[in-house]
Amino acid sequence: MPTARVDDSLDHARRLNAHYDAATTSEGGSLLARLRDAFLDAGCDPDRLSVDEVAGIDQLHLGGRRASRSLATMGELQGGERVLDVGCGTGGASRLLAAEYGCHVVGVDITTAFVEVASWLSKATGLAEHTRFLCADAGSVPLAQESIDRVWCQHALMNMPHVPRVLAEWRRLLVPGGCVLLHEVVTGDNPEPLVLPVPWARTLATSYLRSREQLERSMTLSGFEPLRVDDVTDAALAWRQVHSRRESRPDDALEKSRRLPGPEMIFGEVFPTMGRNLRDNLAAGKVRILEGVWRAIN
Ligand SMILES: C[S@@+](CC[C@H](N)C(=O)[O-])C[C@H]1O[C@@H](n2cnc3c(N)ncnc32)[C@H](O)[C@@H]1O
């Protein structure tokens, strides 16, 4: 890899780690340690957790588990398939695909703290045998060529500056005829600037939104044919509206110490603002949400 590309990649990793693990700097203690303490405070054993208990911290995309199930259904996922979860975050989709669809999943993410948390949560929920996690850039994944049946990617390309490089890596890793299942944020028709912060960016330094047309063109140029692509913005907006309403009036009846950890443990106190801004950007047509399946052309 030429030096300029290595520097570029290190800089990208540094910016994303600073964004997604910002609360570690402000709060002190690793994300893993803080989350373990939060589960203890909520009366849970951090080494024996249910998938429901961890749902507040392992679904870092619009629509939560329902959106992941919708994508899995659209892509007709089959038991035993080898799936690469690109930009897996804390690994919620990887575990869902293992637990509900019988897949063998490798999650890859550039944010070190997320990979540590993903591995811990899989062990704690009894899914470590079917999921494993690697800390790597999606443009250079340490796996053998043609070792993956499906690439799965939810809300991660909008963090990545070099999509053609990432798509070339998907082509290398996929078996002939393998599919890509994508749930992604793209720009809308409203060209006004995004209201920031949003969950993937506090500043434009980590936001690389593209239009639907640009994304579809990149997929075609990289050797993928679309099987189906849906615009699911309305459902995503409705989901975000409900969650923003909930986040604006925390349940006073439940003592803070007994609440299960949620996304504010990861993003910090700014999370409700990020959620509201995302809602408003969706409502104003500045961003849209796509769900689709593409097949590698032989
Ligand atoms: C909004 S989060 C979504 C996480 C997960 N897909 C989910 O839906 O819960 C975006 C994730 O993409 C990861 N990411 C961004 N750029 C990446 C890259 N170049 N290589 C690997 N992971 C990356 C980030 O670290 C972050 O965990």
Interval 45-65 mean pLDDT: 97
State if residue 57 touches ligand 1 by the CB under 6 angstroms criterion. no
CATH number of 3-236+276-296: 3.40.50.150
State if residue 170 touches ligand 1 by the CB under 6 angstroms criterion. no
Residue nearest to atom 11 of ligand 1 (CA): 87
- For ligand 1, the distance from its centroid to the CA atom of residue 200, given in whole angstroms, is 9
State if residue 110 touches ligand 1 by the CB under 6 angstroms criterion. yes
Residue 264 and residue 252: Cα distance in Å, rounded? 17
Angle between helices 31-41 and 112-124 (to 10 degrees): 40
Q: Which pLDDT tens digit goes with each residue over 248-283?
A: 876 544 444 458 999 999 999 999 999 999 999 999
- For ligand 1, the distance from its centroid to the CA atom of residue 110, given in whole angstroms, is 7
Q: Which pLDDT tens digit goes with each residue over 149-175?
A: 999 999 999 999 999 999 999 999 999
Percent of the chain with pLDDT over 70: 95
Q: Measured on CA atoms in the order 88, 90, 92, 98, is the torsion positive or negative?
A: positive
Residue nearest to atom 27 of ligand 1 (CA): 89
Confidence of residue 6 (pLDDT cuts 50, 70, 90): low
